[in-house]
Homo-oligomer: A and B are copies of this chain.
Amino acid sequence: MLTKIARACYDVNMDENNITEQPRRRSDGEQTHQTILDRAVKLASIEGVNQITLGRLAQATGVSKSGVYAHFKSKERLQMEIIEAAGEIYEREVIEPGLQAPEGLPRLIKLYESFLSYVEREIFPGGCFFAGLISEFDAQSGPVHEAVIAGHREWEGLVVSLIQDAQQRGEIDSGVEPAFLVFQLDAVKDHANFLYTLYRDPAWIERGRQAISRIVTQVSAT
């Protein structure tokens, strides 16, 4: 999930990755590439994706600007790789743990708990990468904006399917509109993320848990 963000970006912007065509240099090259990319993802989560230029990254990693250029070719390509790498982390830290819970309502609850835990554990130093990405690119047209919409729709689709599953199991009231429930839950998760990141106070995560629990209780079939 959320890999559509990366895929949509790649479809628009990416060329073939030259590194795979040079097997003898692949290991070293890939390692350096990954090291620079890891740093770029962390920086982007703090400063915003648009702040991460090749020059800024050269300064932050100590790699020469031409070295960074050799790996990413352009600011646009670097940004797309950053978003793809962040998507993989989100999938590993939020989606996969969520989907490991038993089907139905427990899976829905676990998905949001995984999100709050991922914020609290500061997987990204700047808070949830994708909440920040929506805020940064919501009003900026272009491939990242389109990819943010694709990613949001994919997330929304996932949560709607979990809600419908819980409704079919008789765990959530059948009169509840799934898209409205996603809106309510996402509002809480993103707000907890922004305020935790602003204050670094776990009380905001606790408020998020409490608010989500309250919403879930309200829609639970009795």
A136 lies within 8 A of chain B by Cβ: yes
Q: A126 to nearest B CB, angstroms?
A: 4
Tell me if B187 and A183 are in contact (CB < 8 A).
Answer: no
Task: Enumerate chain B residues within 8 angstroms of A207, measured Cβ to Cβ.
Answer: 180, 183
Contact partner of A135 (CB less than 8 A), chosen from B148, B149, B187, B194, is B194
Contact partner of A148 (CB less than 8 A), chosen from B50, B180, B198, is B198
Of the candidate stretches A2-10, A14-22, A40-48, A81-89, the one touching chain B is A40-48
With both beta carbons as reference points, the residue of chain B lying nearest to A203 in the complex is identified as B179
Q: For the complex, give the distance between the alpha carbons of A4 and B46 in Å.
A: 24
A132 lies within 8 A of chain B by Cβ: yes
Task: Enumerate chain B residues within 8 angstroms of A70, measured Cβ to Cβ.
Answer: none
- Knowing A135-B135, A191-B183, A194-B190 touch, does A140 contact B46 (C-beta < 8 A)? yes
A: residues with CB less than 8 A from B are 45-48, 50-51, 125-127, 131-132, 134-136, 138-140, 145, 148-149, 152, 180, 183-184, 186-188, 190-192, 194-195, 197-199, 204, 207, 210-211, 218
What are 6 pairs between A and B in contact, CB < 8 Å?
Answer: A45-B139, A127-B139, A184-B211, A187-B188, A187-B191, A191-B191
